[in-house]
Homo-oligomer: A and B are copies of this chain.
Amino acid sequence: MSDKKIPYKIYLAESEMPETWYNLRADMVHKPAPLLHPVTHQAMTAQELSAVFCDELVRQELDNDTREYPIPQEIRDFYKMYRPSPLVRAYCLEKKLQTPAKIYYKFEGNNTSGSHKLNSAIAQAYYAKQQGLVGVTTETGAGQWGTALSMACAYFGLDCRVFMVKVSYEQKPFRREVMRTYGASVTPSPSESTRVGRSILAAHPGTTGSLGCAISEAVETAAAHPGYRYVLGSVLNQVLLHQSVIGLEAKAAMDKYGIKPDVIIGCAGGGSNLGGLIAPFMGEKLRGEADYRFLAVEPASCPSLTRGVFAYDFADTGMVCPLAKMYTLGSDFIPAPNHAGGLRYHGMSPILSQLYDDGYLEAVTVPQTRVFEAAEQFARVEGILPAPESSHAICAAMDEALRCRETGEEKTILFGLTGTGYFDLVAYQKFHDGEMTDYVPSDEELAASFAKLPKVE
């Protein structure tokens, strides 16, 4: 099809939206390793996991075989309020870069949560409601996940208790206020409301909190209140299953116009967006039906794939969650403060970790100031102010397009624009004022963290 025929934005019709999620694990030769009990190191059973997670989500978490999961009608109806998300042809960026490459991005930011997180939040809230639960608990750092979950819970009339890392709670009052608008209760973590919170406050009275501590508080709260379960916005297999809707829509839109991407790029923190975006394309590659390059982009300050080790590790710093086999910097590793909070996680989705280890996925890191340079350039030509997380993918996509300018290759690039930066303007301000730093952990720092990994036979 002639290039001229491709619109700026490809929207699927509602009738063309996916009716099933795609479970990438069904096509993986090496399945992700099972979750292990944090004390016994035995594979977690469904019954054990059901104490923490909803029953249906446990089933999805453990299911390495079922290829397709029907998306319940109620979730499909909710999706219709903000999906299909547009697949955008970045004509203006291409022109600005003077590249022969064709650049596409799947934009997930056009909803009030401001990111792709809503895709899994609504699914997790739905299954909690189906099970007759009263509410759910979770943690949030940067606030995207907490906002998405608040919206989903408001829709289904579920109680939503969010533990927000104290430093974010204080520095991001607007994120907190959005969650309140959707009826969620937001507690700064560590708090006096949990045993683990009180013990941390006693030991470190001035602490500003951490994601690990907030996770522990949320898990404890769910366990202590009948009718509550804990939910998580990334890393888990179930989350990647729900997020496959991103890739399925992107692929359907591209197929409709006969477009085949050469390289697919996504930012990678816990892996929820990247795993969802690449899913159906990776499926074709695994089945030998097509070939694509896949590129994970990490912050140089938190490089789990590129500089981590592939080992069993705790998902949280509180060490109450199961052990997962993943690329990790060690659960004890505290990433330097950076402005892509959603990417500040020590580990990586077990699914993506396995694919990376098996050579199906490449990874690069980019330093923070380069990310913001790319973000600003993108905003000025494409109009959208991107989230710092998403801007890692923008940066790598622009690098790829500039290489095409050198070589003359007309590559087709697809990247995931996971969200908007409307709540990240403190970061933009630091960038404009020249106060942004590019921290990279030393080898010694990482080695010390690796030494503390749990010993699993």
Question: Is A183 in contact with chain B by the CB < 8 A criterion?
Answer: yes
Is B112 a contact of A180 with CB atoms below 8 Å?
Answer: no
B422 touches A422 (CB 8 A): yes
Contact residues of A between 372 and 394, Cβ < 8 Å to B: 376, 379-385
Q: How far is the CA of A193 from the CA of B423 in the complex (A)?
A: 31
Produce 1/0 per residue, A78-102, CB < 8 A to B.
1011100000000110000000000
Q: Is the interface of A mostly helix, strand, loop or mixed?
A: helix
Residues in B with CB closer than 8 Å to A81 are 8-9, 92, 382-383
**B383→A112 contact, CB < 8 A:** yes
Contacts of A420 in B (CB 8 A): 112
Chain A contact residues (Cβ within 8 angstroms of B): what range?
Answer: 35 or more
Q: What is the minimal beta-carbon distance from A428 to any residue of chain B, in angstroms? A: 5
B383 touching A181 by the CB < 8 A rule? no
**Copies of this chain in its oligomeric complex:** 2
Residues of B within 8 A of A383 (CB): 78, 81-82, 111-112, 151, 155
Is residue A173 contacting chain B, with contact meaning CB distance below 8 A? yes
Would A380 and B183 count as touching, CB distance under 8 A?
Answer: yes
If A112-B383, A425-B174 touch, does A376 touch B432 (CB 8 Å cutoff)?
A: no
Q: Which of B80, B182, B376 contacts A8 (CB 8 A)?
A: B80
A408 part of interface (Cβ distance < 8 Å)? no
Q: How far is the CA of A91 from the CA of B155 in the complex (A)?
A: 13
Q: Footprint of B on A, CB under 8 Å? A: 7-9, 11, 13-14, 77-78, 80-82, 91-92, 110-112, 114, 151, 154-155, 173-174, 177-178, 180-183, 376, 379-385, 420, 422-423, 425, 428-429, 432
Q: Could you list 11 A-B pairs, sorted by A, with CB under 8 Å?
A: A8-B80, A11-B11, A112-B383, A112-B420, A112-B422, A154-B379, A155-B381, A173-B425, A174-B425, A181-B379, A182-B380
